[in-house]
Amino acid sequence: MASHTDRKAPRIEAVKLEKRFGHIHAVRGIDLEVPAGQVLGFLGPNGAGKSTTMRMITGFLEPSGGRVKLEGIDIAEDPIAAKRTFGYLPEGAPAYPDMTVEEFLSFIAAARGFRGADAKARVERAIGRVNLQGVRKQAFETLSKGYKRRTGLAQALLHDPGILILDEPTDGLDPNQKFEVRELIKELGGDRAIVLSTHILEEVEAVCTRAVVINKGGIVFDGTPAEMESRAPRDVTKNRMDAAFRAMTTGDVVGDSDANTASRTKGARR
Amino acid sequence: MSTIPALTALQRITVVFRREFRSYFQTPLAAVFLVIFLFLAGLFTFNIGGFYERNQSDLRPFFQFHPWLYVFLVPAVSMRLWAEERRTGTIELIMTLPFGVADLVIGKFLAACAFTTVALCLTFPMWITVSWLGNPDHGTIFVAYLASALLAGAFLAVGAFLSALTKNQVIAFVLCAVACFVLLLAGFPAVLDFIRGWAPRGAVEGLASTSALTHYESMMRGVIDLRDVLYFALVMIAFLVLNVFAIDWKKSD
């Protein structure tokens, strides 16, 4: 694979992605190229098409139009090879409820083609990376939301993929766990292509090198977090990311008073 | 970043099979199923089938009730196969791991078959009993066991397909029980006698040949007829293919 060695070639390449569910046009022509070393924050209101887009990139859903290439492999042409290239944390971090963390990760290791000592070492490393040592013998269904999310992350990281696709990786974590996961993502970002969706805009500022905002199935902003902030109305001084997000996704003209409302709701949410 | 090993189709199916097979034993399902199956198989054989009263050293009274046991026990095994994956969301996880849909369908199906075969093997004391009391034809008993395993496999394939159509395990159970019952009913003597009065002979035989019961009973007598084996194989293959389509169609609901 030539694209492996070529650092400039995009790891993720989505062209004109479309998805229709019956008469609902959920994703309307999304183009996305993510090279190694980029941490892309995928933003948008609920129902904007974030999860649907991620599900098409990972091959869970077939697009109604367009195509997806991962490390140069077209997922429609060779889905199994394409699925080897990435780690994916689906929305809600699902796992088998009756399996223990260790059993579950061993299953993932086997599914990724590792055996024997190699598989064991990978499970150990994944457990260590997201601090799951204390719950490794516990059944998944008995875990707290934070541990469930971390098990999902461990699963996605296990084969050390060049691409990580994470659907709300910090959802349900406490502030300390959020901090740890952000540090981990920053550390991983160096030579990987990472796409993460989130509702927390400060997270984008903290870990992402690029921000993409989608609304009603189409991209409305694509740039650096700093550029996104600069899109906020000039009179807004606090929480400029939130103001910019609101301006892009609601079309509201956000004045100072509105920004204060936004910061208040944000305070209540935290 | 390391190179990620590629697995052959057989290795992928084995990974799916092992997880699925173990999952039966991680819940009380395995224990409940095995106890009820063995209890009912014994009850039917001795109390209703008249094992002793017949005074014949064979296992006919044991095998003749298997289809009716399977009508409600097989759906209990198959109902969770896909419905559970969809309810917990793990379907999104396994379908984005490097597996093909066929790997998942086959691996899960074989795990369910292995589980019912374990249940069947645990009835070995029957074989020992009849051998101890008399001189049975072991070949006949072996073929009857094979027929029973094939019948369970055919029902499981039907059940796996129906499980892929719904998130709700109860619906999956009921649909599968009804479907298996219909598959048996077409060969039930009462049904065949009813249509024999007015339908041409070819139609009666045609209907009988679509029934799992007809093929099961012919094998139960100890004869391996290629048509019977082919029938079970075709039912399994047809429903596994339907299963693959059903998953692509319903996975995101």
Convert the pLDDT of each residue in A45-76 to its tens digit: 998 999 999 999 999 999 999 999 999 999 99
**According to the model, what pLDDT value does residue A79 have?**
95
Q: Is residue A144 part of a domain?
A: yes
Q: Is residue A198 part of a domain?
A: no
What residues in chain A have their Cβ under 8 A from chain B's Cβ atoms? 55, 58-62, 79-81, 83-85, 88, 90-92, 94-99, 107-108, 110-114, 155, 159-162, 191-192
**According to the model, what pLDDT value does residue A27 have?**
93
Q: How far is CA B250 from the centre of its chain?
A: 23
Query: A135-144 as b/e, with b when 16 or more CB fall inside 10 Å?
Result: bbeebbeebe
Q: What is the dihedral of CA A203, A204, A205, A209, to 10 degrees?
A: 140
Work out whether the CA dihedral B46, B47, B53, B59 comes out positive or negative: negative
| A141 → chain B, closest CA residue | B88
Contact between A98 and B4 using a beta-carbon 8 Å cutoff = no
Which of B5, B96, B252 is the closest to A83 by Cβ? B96
| pLDDT band of A255, cuts 50, 70, 90 | very low
Residue A153: exposure state from Cβ atoms within 10 A (0-12, 13-18, ≥19): buried
Contact between A161 and B1 using a beta-carbon 8 Å cutoff = yes
Q: Which residues of A touch B95 (CB under 8 A)?
A: 59-60
Chosen for mutation from A107, A143, A148, A165 (greatest number of chain B CBs closer than 10 Å) is A107
Q: Which domain holds residue A137?
A: 90-160
DSSP secondary structure letters along A136-180: TTSBGGGS-HHHHHHHHHHHHHTT--SEEEEESTTTT--HHHHHH
| A84 → chain B, closest CA residue | B98
Q: Is residue A109 part of a domain?
A: yes
**According to the model, what pLDDT value does residue B253 have?**
64
Which of B2, B90, B252 is the closest to A61 by Cβ? B252
Domain definitions of chain B by residue range: 9-50+58-250
Task: Write down the number of H helices and E strands in chain A.
Answer: 11, 10
Contact between A60 and B92 using a beta-carbon 8 Å cutoff = yes
For residue B133, the cross-strand partners are none
- Lookup result for tokens 């869970």: A60
User: pLDDT tens for residues A143-196?
Assistant: 998 899 999 999 999 999 999 999 999 887 888 888 888 998 998 888 899 999
**According to the model, what pLDDT value does residue B71 have?**
93
Measure A52 CA to nearest chain B CA, in Å: 10
Contact A63, A14 (CB under 8 A): no
DSSP secondary structure letters along A37-106: T-EEEEE--TTSSHHHHHHHHTTSS--SEEEEEETTEETTT-HHHHHHSEEEE-TT----TTSBHHHHHH
Which of A60, A62, A110 is the closest to B96 by Cβ? A60
Overall pTM > 0.90: no
Q: What three-state secondary structure class fits B163?
A: helix
Provide the 10 A C-beta neighbour count for residue A125: 13
Contact between B97 and A112 using a beta-carbon 8 Å cutoff = yes
| pLDDT band of A88, cuts 50, 70, 90 | very high
Cα A211 to Cα A42: distance, rounded to the nearest angstrom: 6
Q: What are phi and psi of A15, to 5 degrees?
A: -120, 120
Which of A91, A114, A192 is the closest to B5 by Cβ? A114
Cα B100 to Cα B106: distance, rounded to the nearest angstrom: 10
**According to the model, what pLDDT value does residue A270 have?**
34
Measure A138 CA to nearest chain B CA, in Å: 13
Total domains in chain A come to: 1
Count of A–B CB contacts within 8 Å? 86
**According to the model, what pLDDT value does residue B2 have?**
53
Residue B155: exposure state from Cβ atoms within 10 A (0-12, 13-18, ≥19): buried
Measure B160 CA to nearest chain A CA, in Å: 18
pLDDT at A1 over 70: no
Three-state SS string across B35-73, please?
A: HHHHHHHHHHHHHHCCCCCCCCCCCHHHHCCHHHHHHHH
Q: Which residues of B touch A81 (CB under 8 A)?
A: 6, 98
Q: Which residues of A touch B26 (CB under 8 A)?
A: 98-99
The share of chain B scoring above pLDDT 70, in percent, equals 98
Contact between A98 and B1 using a beta-carbon 8 Å cutoff = no
CB-side neighbour CA atoms (13 Å) of B69: 26
| pLDDT band of A40, cuts 50, 70, 90 | very high
User: pLDDT tens for residues B161-183?
Assistant: 999 998 899 999 999 999 999 88
Q: Which residues of B touch A192 (CB under 8 A)?
A: 1
| pLDDT band of B135, cuts 50, 70, 90 | confident
Chosen for mutation from B97, B244, B248 (greatest number of chain A CBs closer than 10 Å) is B97
Contact between A110 and B2 using a beta-carbon 8 Å cutoff = no
Contact between B88 and A61 using a beta-carbon 8 Å cutoff = no
Q: Which residues of A touch B5 (CB under 8 A)?
A: 112-114
Cα B200 to Cα B193: distance, rounded to the nearest angstrom: 12
Which of A81, A88, A160 is the closest to B1 by Cβ? A160
User: For chain A, percent helix, then strand, then coil, each to nearest 5?
Assistant: 45, 25, 35
Q: Is residue A206 part of a domain?
A: no
pLDDT at B52 over 90: no
pLDDT at A212 over 80: yes
Instruction: Name the token pair of A203.
Output: 């997270």
Contact between B4 and A55 using a beta-carbon 8 Å cutoff = no
Instruction: Tell how strand A163-167 and strand A65-70 pair up.
Output: unpaired
Q: Which residues of B touch A95 (CB under 8 A)?
A: 88, 90, 93
Which of B4, B27, B89 is the closest to A90 by Cβ? B89
Give the pLDDT mean for B224-246.
94
Provide the 10 A C-beta neighbour count for residue A28: 17
Q: Is residue A97 part of a domain?
A: yes
Instruction: Name the token pair of A260.
Output: 């204060």
Chosen for mutation from B93, B247, B251 (greatest number of chain A CBs closer than 10 Å) is B93
Q: What is the dihedral of CA A73, A74, A77, A80, to 10 degrees?
A: 50
Stretch (H or E) spanning A238: none
Contact between A96 and B23 using a beta-carbon 8 Å cutoff = yes
Instruction: Tell how strand A218-223 and strand A210-215 pair up.
Output: antiparallel
Query: B41-78 as b/e, with b when 16 or more CB fall inside 10 Å?
Result: beebbbeebebeeeeeebbbbbbbbbbebbbebbbbbb
| pLDDT band of B1, cuts 50, 70, 90 | low
Q: How far is CA B3 from the centre of its chain?
A: 40
| A115 → chain B, closest CA residue | B5
Q: Is residue A106 part of a domain?
A: yes
The DSSP code for A236 is -
User: pLDDT tens for residues B208-223?
Assistant: 778 888 899 889 888 8
Q: Is residue A128 part of a domain?
A: yes
Cα B48 to Cα A216: distance, rounded to the nearest angstrom: 65
